[in-house]
């Protein structure tokens, strides 16, 4: 790693294909998109038709309240920070900035955004802002541009549904008989292949070439749209810069337009729909461009119809669409004298309203239809010339902004010269497991979709991957393709190493899989709260960013108003990592008492000392890559069980996304491995003389607390409690009566927020206590054990020493850096949970997880054993679903038509009432003691039971239990 230029301690550089802090350490920036909810105003999610068009026509609604309400922001940001995230992708739509009309900006929303950014700063996040859009606009079925941009291009948006120029959620399937709840998954994305989206992107990126007659306010529509787009976000940048303390400290850069599309540009045959894999999704009706032209002019068309199954799209007959003469184009009477009465622009007389602009430009003829010309009309390539104009506008106010360059989905970025990027850039691409996203199911097979699109296979069958291991490897390979695309940025030739880092700006998985099985909508509610399939899918995607890829990412998405019925509130998408509908009943009171540090230096160089706040007041965290600024002597006064409870409550598939990873590395990470099933993390890195950290800055290395000035800076690793919490922490999280199982022989620090250990006991000043590993990579080392109220982990490093900052969920690893420039070395570290992976049920995740009777139940865990029809094995052992409870006992219950009995001959003192069955429990540990409580009979009606049953409560004082229960049903 070359020496970094001097600068503020919080400054982030882009060098040698990596983000780098001001000390020269390689950074991994990982986090989430905040938020998918920002696509629409607070009171106007996509399914709501009321006032949808009326508000649009008079300037639209304010987006104040997006992404978070100010009063709730601290709670949500604290949760995200506790999950280990240090990076936020911050979507803002053009509509949110300029909805009132051309050049009329919503300064109140901008000021609100600044308030949210200040809270992001207080919680220690880095942010890159994203000009978000999907299929151009909310009013063409997606999000992004203001309503008036569609009118400026000659459209009548109220006619889009009738002409299928766009599918709009709140009018689905048609305005006269709308049922937005039945909108199929991902059908919104087919709008990329319909008239509005294809036209708008062709005009935005190539209007001067392909539509020269489209002149408005004296300029071509391309210049008109691009100028307003760039100016709107430049106005936001100006406002953020004027705030004085956000640029570079918090806002490190700006994304280019989200998922830009080519529209009709480079379309080979306007009479046909592309057949190659990777084209716009084929689902529902699939018009060719010419069919879209004709529908837009009110002409009847018969379209191919497609269904999408596990093997991809398949033609499923045809559908005739009759617009009944309705046109998608505005009537000339709407602009008397060629001036719009509401928006004020003047349209050139050569641009005739009421007629398809492509007919106006002789691409087709309304009467005779279209005859393909040679060469095709739209075959000219586009270099997406908006990027230089947009970036220039942003850097006028944010000179050091990192340019996050985003091409169309799965496309390689255009070559961008270094004189534009100026050493400050990042390749920002997206990746979704398309089969899972569209089918809403985690399949046993998949395909190398990106390899197929890039022409790496001659047949589709060659791209097929069978089995979960093959799928995971394939996903990792595909992200490797994307990482290699970064060579397009800057002056280096494409064959050379990447100059700039790569971030996967969007990656995620749907949570409404399998007909919303996890919400209890199927199977009689048997799988309510069971996100095991989503966990496997999301883990596979995020694992793909690990391995040798070592990628940055921001997961899509976190929505504070996510719900089971409507998902993220946009086109039935449901990818939010958290949902209020998944909050565990009864834990609100516990969460409100959570006390966390006011300065949480995740990624900082010094152990955090903290004052006390609560989630209900103001939890804040210090900025990453900067020292803690809290005064000395302020103790951490919260305990791990409350933190763990808070981080898991409402989270979905949390074990997949709240995962260990290296935050800051002295050297360069070369391989990251994490096995959820074994709770084992492994990091390999390379380090050489160029990687000696800069440590001569007093702000970087405090002298009184934490690291000494004469020490090397550490590699920092996020270690989530979700994976590495001790049994003691788990027991307290679930409200157990179990006693703490702390290893009294451990040297535990006095501050509570910091401790360290290894093979010796030499006192040092690095935190409360420090023990040092042998500094050698040749000796086979025994693992170092951390076991107390927080963690239960074994750490094995090839050399150096380790220090655990428990309250920050962070491990510091110190080692020597070779002094000789010709030397380099490879180092490894492994962290594993000593007693194995934590089960989802032990974390209180959802209502159910699978457990076979006879399985050991850990001391301090609380389970609710429920039986139902699909789990019955008559006269034999059965597998039940297990859900965590919040009481201080192990709750055993039977439901519906089943009877709990035990095959053992003793009852440990429990006597059932006359005529009742006797639930008996075999105890593996004869020294264990337990008691029964709440002997209230259950009412069982259908079908009749052989006899009644009870709902006893079982409390363990020590040891573990192995339960064997036989379920019998009187009427099979």
- Burial class for 947, CB neighbours closer than 10 Å (0-12, 13-18, 19+): middle
What is the distance, to the nearest Å, from the Cα of residue 905 to the centroid of all Cα atoms in its chain?
52
d(CA 277, CA 588): 48
- Burial class for 493, CB neighbours closer than 10 Å (0-12, 13-18, 19+): exposed
d(CA 215, CA 220): 4
Mark whether 548 is an active-site residue.
Answer: no
**Interaxial angle between packed helices 532-544 and 468-484, expressed in degrees from 0 to 180 and rounded to the nearest 10:** 40
Identify whether the C-beta of residue 77 lies closer than 8 Å to the C-beta of residue 578.
Answer: no
H or E element in which residue 75 lies: helix 70-82
Catalytic choice (506, 716, 751, 803): 506
Q: Could you tell me the maximum CA-CA distance found in the chain, to the nearest angstrom? A: 96
Mark whether 259 is an active-site residue.
Answer: yes
H or E element in which residue 452 lies: helix 449-453
Classified as helix, coil or strand, 885 is coil
Identify whether the C-beta of residue 723 lies closer than 8 Å to the C-beta of residue 660.
Answer: yes
Please give, one letter per residue, the 3-state secondary structure of 270-324: CCCCCCCCCCCCCCEEECCHHHHHHHHCCCCEEEEEEEEECCEEEEEEEEEECCC
d(CA 555, CA 537): 13
Identify whether the C-beta of residue 298 lies closer than 8 Å to the C-beta of residue 129.
Answer: no
To 10 degrees, the CA torsion angle through 40, 43, 44, 48?
A: 150
Residues in the chain: 972
d(CA 530, CA 442): 14
d(CA 289, CA 196): 11
Classified as helix, coil or strand, 13 is strand
Identify whether the C-beta of residue 401 lies closer than 8 Å to the C-beta of residue 394.
Answer: yes
Q: Where are any strands of DSSP class E within 372-455?
A: 402-405, 425-430, 445-447
186 Ramachandran zone, left/alpha/beta (phi>0; psi -120 to 50): left
Catalytic choice (259, 716, 751, 803): 259
Report the sign of the C-alpha dihedral through residues 386, 388, 392, 394, in that order: positive
The structure tokens listed for 943 are 């079908």
To 10 degrees, the CA torsion angle through 806, 811, 815, 819?
A: -120
H or E element in which residue 857 lies: strand 856-857
Nearest alpha carbon to residue 461 among 472, 479, 448:
448
Contacts with 796 (C-beta within 8 Å, 6 or more apart), sequence order? 781, 782, 783, 784, 829, 830
Classified as helix, coil or strand, 334 is helix
Identify whether the C-beta of residue 91 lies closer than 8 Å to the C-beta of residue 39.
Answer: yes
The structure tokens listed for 617 are 């007041």
Classified as helix, coil or strand, 453 is helix
Catalytic site positions:
259, 506
């Amino acid at each position: 790693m070359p020496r970094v230029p001097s600068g503020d301690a919080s400054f982030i550089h882009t060098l040698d294909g990596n983000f780098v802090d001001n000390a020269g350490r390689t950074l991994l920036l990982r986090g989430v998109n905040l938020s998918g909810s920002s696509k629409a105003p607070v009171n106007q999610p996509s399914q709501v038709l009321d006032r949808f068009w009326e508000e649009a026509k008079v300037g639209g609604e304010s987006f104040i309240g997006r992404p978070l309400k100010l009063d709730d922001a601290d709670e949500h940001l604290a949760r995200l920070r506790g999950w280990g995230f240090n990076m936020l992708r911050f979507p803002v739509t053009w509509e949110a900035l300029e909805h009132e009309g051309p050049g009329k900006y919503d300064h109140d929303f901008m000021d609100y955004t600044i308030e949210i950014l200040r809270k992001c700063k207080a919680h220690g996040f880095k942010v890159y802002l994203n000009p978000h859009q999907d299929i151009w606009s909310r009013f063409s079925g997606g999000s992004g541009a203001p309503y008036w941009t569609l009118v400026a291009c000659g459209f009548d948006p109220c006619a889009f549904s009738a002409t299928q120029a766009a599918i709009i959620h709140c009018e689905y399937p048609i305005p006269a008989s709308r049922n937005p709840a039945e909108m199929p998954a991902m059908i919104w994305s087919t709008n990329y292949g319909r008239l509005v989206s294809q036209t708008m992107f062709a005009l935005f990126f190539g209007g001067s070439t392909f539509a020269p007659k489209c002149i408005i306010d004296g300029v071509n529509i391309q210049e008109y749209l691009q100028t307003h787009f760039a100016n709107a976000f430049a106005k936001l940048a100006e406002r953020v810069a004027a705030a004085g303390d956000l640029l570079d400290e918090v806002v490190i850069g700006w994304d280019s337009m989200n998922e830009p599309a080519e529209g009709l540009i480079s379309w080979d045959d306007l009479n046909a729909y592309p057949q190659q894999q990777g084209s716009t999704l084929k689902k529902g009706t699939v018009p060719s461009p010419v069919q879209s032209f004709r529908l837009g002019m009110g002409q009847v068309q018969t379209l191919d119809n497609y269904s999408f199954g596990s093997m991809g799209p398949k033609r499923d007959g045809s559908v005739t669409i009759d617009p009944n003469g309705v046109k998608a184009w505005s009537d000339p009477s709407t602009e008397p004298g060629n001036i719009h009465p509401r928006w004020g622009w003047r349209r050139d007389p050569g641009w005739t309203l009421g007629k398809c602009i492509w007919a106006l430009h002789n691409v087709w003829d309304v009467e005779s239809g279209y005859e393909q010309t040679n060469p095709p009309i739209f075959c000219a390539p586009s270099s997406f010339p908006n990027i230089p104009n947009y970036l220039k506008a942003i850097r006028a106010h944010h000179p050091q902004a990192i340019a996050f360059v985003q091409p169309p989905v799965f496309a390689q970025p255009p070559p961008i010269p270094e004189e534009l990027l100026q050493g400050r850039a990042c390749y920002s691409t997206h990746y979704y497991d398309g089969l899972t996203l569209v089918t809403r199911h985690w399949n046993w097979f998949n395909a190398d979709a990106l390899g197929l699109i890039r022409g790496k296979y001659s047949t589709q069958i060659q791209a097929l991957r069978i089995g979960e291991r093959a799928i995971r490897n394939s996903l990792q390979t595909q992200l490797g393709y994307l990482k290699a695309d970064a060579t397009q940025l800057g002056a280096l030739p494409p064959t050379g190493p990447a100059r700039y880092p790569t971030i996967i700006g969007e990656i995620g998985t749907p949570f409404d899989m399998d007909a919303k099985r996890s919400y209890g909508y199927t199977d009689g509610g048997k799988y309510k709260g069971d996100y095991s399939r989503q966990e496997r899918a999301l883990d596979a995607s995020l694992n793909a960013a690990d391995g040798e890829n070592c990628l940055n990412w921001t997961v899509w998405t976190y929505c504070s108003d996510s719900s089971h019925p409507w998902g993220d509130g946009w086109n039935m998408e449901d990818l939010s990592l958290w949902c209020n509908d998944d909050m565990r009943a009864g834990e609100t009171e516990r969460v409100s008492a959570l006390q966390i540090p006011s300065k949480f230096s995740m990624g900082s160089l010094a152990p955090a000392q903290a004052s006390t706040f609560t989630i209900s007041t103001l939890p804040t965290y210090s900025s990453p890559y900067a020292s803690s600024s809290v005064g000395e002597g302020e103790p951490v006064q919260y305990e791990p069980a409350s933190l763990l409870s808070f981080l898991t409550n409402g989270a979905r598939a949390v074990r997949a996304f709240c995962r260990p990873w290296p935050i800051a590395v002295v050297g360069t990470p070369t391989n990251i491995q994490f096995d959820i099933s074994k709770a084992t993390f492994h990091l390999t890195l390379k380090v050489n003389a160029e990687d000696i950290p800069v440590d001569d800055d007093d702000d970087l290395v405090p002298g009184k607390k934490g690291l000494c000035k004469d020490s090397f800076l550490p590699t920092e690793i996020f270690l989530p409690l979700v994976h590495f919490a001790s049994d003691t922490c788990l027991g307290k999280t679930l409200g157990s009566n179990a006693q703490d199982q702390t290893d009294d022989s451990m040297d535990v620090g006095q501050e509570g927020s910091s401790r360290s250990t290894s093979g010796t006991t030499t006192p040092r000043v690095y935190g409360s206590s420090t023990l040092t590993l042998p500094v050698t990579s040749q000796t086979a080392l025994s693992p170092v054990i951390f076991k107390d109220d927080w963690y239960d982990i074994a750490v094995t490093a090839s050399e150096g020493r380790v220090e655990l900052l428990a309250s920050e969920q962070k491990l510091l690893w110190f080692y020597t850096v070779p002094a000789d420039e010709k030397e380099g070395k490879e180092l490894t570290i492994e962290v594993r949970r000593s007693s194995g992976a934590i089960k989802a049920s032990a974390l209180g995740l959802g209502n159910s997880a699978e457990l076979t009777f006879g399985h050991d139940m850990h001391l301090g865990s609380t389970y609710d054993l429920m039986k139902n029809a699909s789990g019955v094995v008559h006269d034999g052992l059965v597998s039940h679903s297990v859900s965590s409870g919040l009481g201080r006992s192990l709750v055993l219950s039977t439901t519906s038509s089943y009877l709990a009995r035990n095959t053992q001959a003793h009852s440990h003192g429990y006597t059932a009432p006359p005529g009742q069955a006797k639930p008996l429990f075999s105890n593996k540990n004869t020294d264990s003691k337990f008691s029964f409580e709440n002997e209230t009979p259950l009412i069982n009606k259908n079908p009749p039971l052989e006899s009644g049953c009870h709902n006893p409560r079982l409390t363990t004082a020590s040891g573990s239990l192995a339960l064997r229960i036989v379920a019998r049903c009187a009427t099979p």
